[in-house]
Amino acid sequence: MSLDNPLLQAWQAPYGLPPFEAIRAAHFEPAFHAAMQAQRAELRQIAGQVEAPDFDNTVAAFDRSGRLLGRVAAMFYNLTASETNAELQAVQRRMAAPLAEHDSAVYLDAALFGRIDNLHARRDALPLSAEQGRLLERVHLDFVRAGARLQGPSRERYAAVMAELAELTTRFAQNVLHDESGWRLLLQSDADLAGLPDFLRAAARHAALERGVQDGLVITLSRSLVVPFLTFSERRDLREQAWRAWTTRGEHDGQADNREVARAILQLRNEQARLHGHASYAEYALADTMAGTHAAVQRLFDEVWPRALVAVQREREALQAQMALEGAAGEIEAWDWRYWAEKVRQTLYAVDDAEVKPYFRLEAMVQAAFDCAQRLFGLHFAPRPDLPVYHPDVRAYEVRNAAGDVVGIFLQDNFARASKRSGAWMSSLRWQNRNAPDASGAFRNAPAPMAELPVILNNNNFAKGAPGEPTLLSLDDARTLFHEFGHGLHGLLSNVTFERLSGTQVLRDFVELPSQLFEHWLSEPEVLRAHARHWKTGEPIPEPLMQRLHAARRFNQGYETVRYTASAMVDMAVHARTESEAPADLAAFEADLLQRQGLPHGVGINHRLVHFQHLFSGSGYAAGYYVYLWAEVLDADGYDAFREAGNPFDPRLAESLQRHIYGSGNSLEPGAAFAAFRGRAPTVTPLLRKRGLINEDAVAVAVAG
């Protein structure tokens, strides 16, 4: 261990948290190289032993390997996402290929795979527990999907492809951040501010001060600023400016242009799939999902897309009627929809964000999420301001269960800033497991395991209130907070032995179930009565307002469903191509597909390919953006169990939910995990009902089959 590199020293802070204040960008490169070297030595020890392979000396030992590298990487990627700078970005670019090459060296190690393959071939005869069997299956599949069965030139080419992809996905993400952090809309005159409610003016004022702008307000491309601006601004010309900037991120000539970067990624992914014997990248990616095939995903699209088009046409007619009422002429463009939808919402339901947001103070919504976790799972979140964090905005909590035992550490980073990528996400500095290297930190083949507590992070991008003013959330912001906290609970409640099976490391179309499911509790009247209180008066949200919010819950769902599903269909289409070449013009490919699918004018899509970070900042959601819809089938059906019980905090259901969904990680096959909780396979009807896309008496349609 280096004496002068804090990344390579034992971390002495409580719960083994990093010494954030001591770590510099210059520490990461040498730490990565040292950690990669350490893991290679560990793997040589596993692969070179004379003893015949068994579960403990090969599979469990492999699960224990690379913990130093995992620790350094977790720290690094959390910083590059949440608190980056030019020095960190330079390290990220330099290390992308070496880290990918190291990964390939691990999974293309013939001797190591030979031992794992030997055990996998004999798995039915081995005395394995259910969790051990699941780990063997997953580790073996990890090797196979990383190219372990490839030989000769194909093996070498595969490693080169993965290194190139790592460099390109890093560049894609940095290009999007460049465009997001570099754009601002300065508002100075009263005319510029027309229609903007006080909460948005306060947030835009804070954004201006953060960027050194003293004279005026600033709208950035942070979702919590640009969406309210598109919703409330009476200045159609400024709405168009903001919309065009938001939707053309990554599509500008120059060093941050993502058009060719995305094409190159698609081409390399196609080659990766072909090396595996698949006709397309979508076929390769979907092989390890609940859906399994493109056809299964298409069946879900076919259930939702036509119904969403009907719903959005009804919504358009309501918007046009509102425009006629106010004497507005012309066609509804993409920068108009939210503006007129808000007016319709106020007309139909008397629901106005300016009236709603004072009841959704950030700190109160955090406590609402904590309270739901306590009532469901017995968790208590105790603030620990003494624990080290990487930015003053981050809040640290010690998490205890009902018995008073510490089960993890939770770090929450809620605010947008220029050094942070957009969006909202959960990540980890350490996964829960009971298979860590022993207290000395030494790696051993023979089991000498230790338990490790999870360290889980939530990141949001809320616009901070002006100095002295609270941060007020929209209902959509509050859902985002609950969504990410659901992911956080998936990490904190994990109760498995092996790190590879811990927390959110599950199949991609299952991972959104715990997060989307947790959103439901925000809408429960008893939760709102307890926590949605006016930030000035402390009065609970009025019952009539709560009833209006409930009545409006399906408002504009056609619009939201079309935008999401359109993005999912573009993702699937571009990754399902069997041609060896990527489309020559991604924008033209996208536009042509959406026209053929009948995307209505003025609706738009959630993400265009040129800034679609889910797809191109990594591979996790490539040919996988559909997973939110797939998981919504599960979450809508799953939450119906609580409705049927007549109690959103039913103790028996909560215990089953924790055991089978939040606590099991990847130790259970996801279909079996859901069935163990729900008592049957899911149906799509609750999703369609939730989004207002069918009548209440529609016949259930099975997802599977």
Residues marked as catalytic: 484
Token digits for 251? 């599509």
* Residue 208, C-beta contacts closer than 8 angstroms, at least 6 positions apart: 186, 214, 216, 217, 218
Contact at 8 Å (CB) between 209 and 169?
no
d(CA 219, CA 233): 11
Q: Which 3 state secondary structure label does DSSP give 424? A: coil
d(CA 362, CA 180): 24
* Ranges of H-type helices in 16-151: 25-47, 61-64, 67-82, 86-107, 110-121, 130-145
Contact at 8 Å (CB) between 416 and 463?
yes
Q: Which helix (H) or strand (E) holds 634?
A: helix 627-645
Q: What letter does residue 56 receive in the DSSP assignment?
A: I
Distinct helix (H) and strand (E) counts, the chain: 27, 9
Task: Give one DSSP letter per residue of 269-285, joined into a string.
Answer: HHHHHHHTT-SSHHHHH
For the chain, the first-to-last Cα distance in angstroms comes to 54
d(CA 573, CA 555): 29
Q: Is 167 left (phi over 0), alpha (psi -120 to 50) or beta?
A: alpha
d(CA 298, CA 410): 38
* Residue 160, C-beta contacts closer than 8 angstroms, at least 6 positions apart: none
d(CA 459, CA 415): 8
**Among the listed residues 131, 130, 136, 127, the one whose alpha carbon sits nearest the alpha carbon of residue 59:** 136
**Among the listed residues 404, 385, 381, the one whose alpha carbon sits nearest the alpha carbon of residue 396:** 385
Match 């729900």 to its residue by tokens.
678
* Residue 637, C-beta contacts closer than 8 angstroms, at least 6 positions apart: 678, 682, 683, 686, 687
Token digits for 587? 């924008």
Contact at 8 Å (CB) between 265 and 168?
yes
d(CA 471, CA 458): 17
Q: Which 3 state secondary structure label does DSSP give 105? A: helix
